Amino acid sequence: MPDAFDPSPSDRFTFGLWTVGNRGADPFGLPVRPAMTPLQLVQGLGRIGAWGVNLHDNDLVPFGATAPERDRIVTEFARAVADAGMCVPMATTNLFSHPVFRDGAFTSSDPRVRAFAVQKAMQGIELGVELGARTIVFWGGREGAETDACRDPRDAIAWYRECLNVLCHWTRSQGWDLRFALEAKPNEPRGDIYLPTTGHMLHFIQTLDHPQMCGVNPEVAHETMAGLNFLHAVAQAMECGKLFHVDLNAQRIGKFDQDLRFGSEDLKGAFFLVRMLEGCSGRPAYEGPRHFDAHAYRTEDPDGVWDFARGCMRTYKVLAAKARAFDADPEVRAIIAGNAFADEPLGCAAMLSATQGAGASRIRALALDPDSIAARGHRYERLDQLAMEHLMGVRG
């Protein structure tokens, strides 16, 4: 029965070929689902209301395909995407599956491997451009180590930078207006992965030759694996204009990378995330695609895969509606207003705006009474309970 939460292309939901195409293999077990071709996956995604489909080079073109094979596959795929009324907003390069990357791609100690990785990334970018992608994701799954006897991590970081610089220079020289989105992960498949969190990536980007074309692609599961607050990572990226893409899924702290259906764990975290991405909190919304990097439980057959994909999108839309209701709730608004003080005349920015030295001296000279300020409670217990009651469906 269709309802207000049924997805449509205007919601701009995207999935990777590798997500709905996941066959349920894990390190202990074989695939449990039949393979679906990229064309079948695109048709299926179109049927359930997705807007776009993303891919790695080798999700579509097998490693080592000849140039004519590659061209035929890409042409057929582009036609299937168009026939399904969909698009390819993001493309990425598999720099982790082939044994040549067993000790890293851009951070391998072997310059031949780094050169091969750059070459493969160039072909991945060409493929993305051909399919109309505007965002290129880089997930350095193999960029790490099990033993730090292997290399000095400072070398690894410098090689990572060199490779990305080459790719930025080359992309610009081709006249392509692309954005690179770097995705962090703390570990798995390596014991430790270099640049393990979104915060690390944000700093690293500032050290590149073309920082303006690089941003981040934070993933719920990856930040959660590190025990961090995903919302805060996304907020830091948004605040500095670097949220170029986002990988939505669900994860429990302390576990392997679960890539669960969006919102199926930490529903409250997902609620505040959607609220921020949708701009319900009075700030501008995130403008990029809402991408799901997740897969169905291994228990599922192909029908279960589509249940999974629909579930990601529906949960996002339900949470967006809940977030709007939360922000419109008069009691919520009153508590938030009660904690929001005008910046003038005490805020540091206001003070510093005139003459900086004099402004700082004014702060130094202020008479402030910490005991009277501290006497006031913030009512966050009530505010959080209101969020919970919206989420549990008994309010709003």
The residues annotated with a catalytic role in the active site are 56, 59
Give min distance, CB of 245 to Mn ion, in A: 9
Among Mn ion, ligand GLT, none, what does residue 14 contact (CB within 5–8 Å per kind)? none
Counting contacts by CB under 6 A, is residue 219 touching ligand GLT?
A: yes
Which of 13, 15, 18, 180 is the binder for ligand GLT (CB under 6 A)?
18
Which of 81, 105, 127, 137 is the binder for ligand GLT (CB under 6 A)?
137
CA atoms of 78 and 131, how far apart (whole Å): 6
Give min distance, CB of 335 to ligand GLT, in A: 37
Which of 103, 143, 183, 278 is the binder for ligand GLT (CB under 6 A)?
183
Nearest to ligand GLT by Cβ — which residue?
139
**How crowded is the C-beta side of 1, counted as CA atoms within 13 Å?**
0
Which of 11, 257, 265, 329 is the binder for Mn ion (CB under 5 A)?
257
Q: Enumerate the β-bridge partners of residue 14.
A: 52, 291
Joined together, the tokens standing for residue 394 give 């008994």
Choice between 18 and 286, CB closer to ligand GLT: 18
The angle at the Cα of 184, spanning 58 to 134, to the nearest 5 degrees, equals 55
| 3-class secondary structure, 271 | helix
Strand bridging mode 179-183 / 214-216: parallel
CA atoms of 266 and 84, how far apart (whole Å): 33
Segment 233 to 272, residues that bind ligand GLT, using CB under 6 A: 247
Matching residue, tokens 């999700």: 59
Q: What does the CA dihedral 350, 279, 281, 247 come to, rounded to 10 degrees?
A: -100
Listed residue (214, 224, 131) closest to 185, CA to CA: 224
Stretch that binds Mn ion, among 100-108, 141-149, 169-177, 212-220 (CB under 5 A): 212-220
- Binding-site ranges for ligand GLT (CB under 6 A): 18, 56, 92, 137, 139, 183, 219, 247, 293
- Binding-site ranges for Mn ion (CB under 5 A): 219, 221, 247, 257, 259, 293
